[in-house]
């Protein structure tokens, strides 16, 4: 079955770029505020809890087997005075319990057996110190920023500095909005979130490169010194429209996969799937309305300086 509007699209994307700038500015601002309140001590001033997981703040990770529903296990940990994160892993009655309180794994097992009235088997116990957690958090943030800067350098060599700067801005835009929305809902940031953000960076830059390559191809057909601002805007629109079918099909098929993981992947994959589900939309949007729009406006500014 053919999609008629993708066969020969003629959408004025660049004519809507000021609206897109406004939308992006609001979403980035909301994302930044959410990240500042959820991931820094600033939130404690307003009574907002931090959402770093024990991977980054320190705590205990205990895996147990007990033939009881997860709701009963969660209720039991609450009665023990623990603010624990509990997930089903592996078998139906295999639970991963994460908590920050100073309670030994053996004491946790005894407490669960006493409250649940059932035998509890301890399969794994790990302890993450606060110093190690802080180092992991610092390295995760550095890794994300370094990845963005390396991509800037690559795009600069592959295309030009304008596309490189625009693509890097778009990546920061994607990460802030997606991660900000994740933290806005109060979901914890763990190692899977960092992995998902790095995956999102790779996905988003791939889409940006496809659009940028087609724009460069179309620009190569003209002498920019002879192009008027109106013609330049039309060239960008034609280039984006020519990649629209590829963009929509790729994004849609990717969305089906990650949304399926979000629905059926369970708690262990939830953070990863949530980041990518939101990121598919944000990354596709930014390739058109951030990368292309910024490069167009920068080139239009250059034409105005030449008296065009």
Give yes or no: residues 113 and 243 share one domain: no
d(CA 150, CA 170): 14
* Residue 262 within a domain: yes
Per-position pLDDT tens, the chain of length 308:
445 556 677 889 999 999 999 999 999 999 999 999 988 888 878 778 777 777 777 788 888 999 888 889 989 999 998 888 787 776 778 888 888 888 888 999 999 999 999 999 998 888 876 666 677 777 777 877 887 778 777 777 777 788 888 888 998 999 999 999 999 998 888 888 988 998 898 888 888 888 888 888 887 776 655 677 788 888 889 889 988 888 888 889 999 999 999 998 877 788 999 999 999 999 999 988 999 999 999 888 876 776 65
* Bridge partners, residue 59, by sequence: 128
Residue 176 has what pLDDT?
Answer: 94
CATH code, domain carrying 107: 3.30.70.100
Output the six-digit token pair for 149.
Answer: 């800067």
Question: Phi, psi (5° rounding) for residue 2?
Answer: -85, 145
Residue 2 has what pLDDT?
Answer: 46
Range of the domain at 28: 10-42+132-305
Residues contacting 35, CB < 8 A, separation 6+: 176, 179, 180, 183
* Residue 92 within a domain: yes
Give yes or no: residues 193 and 294 share one domain: yes
Residue 282 has what pLDDT?
Answer: 95
Residue 1 has what pLDDT?
Answer: 42
Query: How far, in Å, are 197, 237, 255, 291 from residue 245 at the CA level?
Result: 25, 14, 15, 18
Give yes or no: residues 123 and 245 share one domain: no
């Amino acid at each position: 079955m053919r999609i008629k509007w993708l066969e020969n699209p003629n959408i004025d994307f660049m004519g809507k770029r000021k609206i897109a700038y406004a939308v992006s500015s609001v979403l980035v601002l909301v994302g930044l505020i959410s990240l500042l309140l959820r991931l820094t001590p600033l939130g404690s001033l307003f009574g907002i809890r931090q959402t770093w997981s024990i991977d980054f703040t320190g705590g205990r990770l205990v895996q147990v087997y007990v033939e009881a529903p997860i709701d009963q296990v969660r209720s039991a940990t609450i009665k023990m005075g623990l603010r624990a994160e509990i997930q089903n892993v592996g078998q139906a009655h295999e639970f991963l319990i994460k908590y920050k309180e100073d309670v030994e794994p053996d004491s946790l097992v005894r407490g669960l057996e006493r409250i649940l009235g059932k035998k509890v088997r301890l399969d794994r116990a790990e302890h993450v110190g606060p110093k190690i957690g802080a180092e992991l958090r610092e390295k995760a943030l550095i890794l994300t920023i370094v990845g963005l800067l390396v991509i800037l350098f690559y795009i600069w060599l592959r295309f030009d500095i304008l596309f490189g700067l625009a693509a890097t801005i778009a990546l920061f835009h994607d990460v802030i909005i997606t991660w900000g929305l994740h933290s806005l809902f109060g979901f914890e940031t763990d190692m899977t979130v960092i992995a998902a953000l790095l995956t999102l960076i790779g996905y988003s830059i791939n889409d940006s490169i496809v659009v940028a390559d087609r724009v460069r191809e179309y620009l190569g057909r003209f002498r920019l010194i002879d192009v008027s601002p109106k013609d330049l805007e039309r060239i960008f629109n034609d280039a984006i429209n020519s990649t629209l079918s590829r963009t929509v099909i790729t994004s849609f098929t990717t969305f089906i996969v990650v949304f399926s993981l979000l629905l059926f992947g369970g708690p262990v994959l939830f953070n990863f799937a949530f980041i990518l589900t939101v990121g598919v939309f944000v990354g596709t949007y930014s390739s058109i309305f951030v990368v292309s729009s910024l490069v167009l406006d920068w080139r239009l500014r250059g034409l105005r300086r030449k008296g065009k």
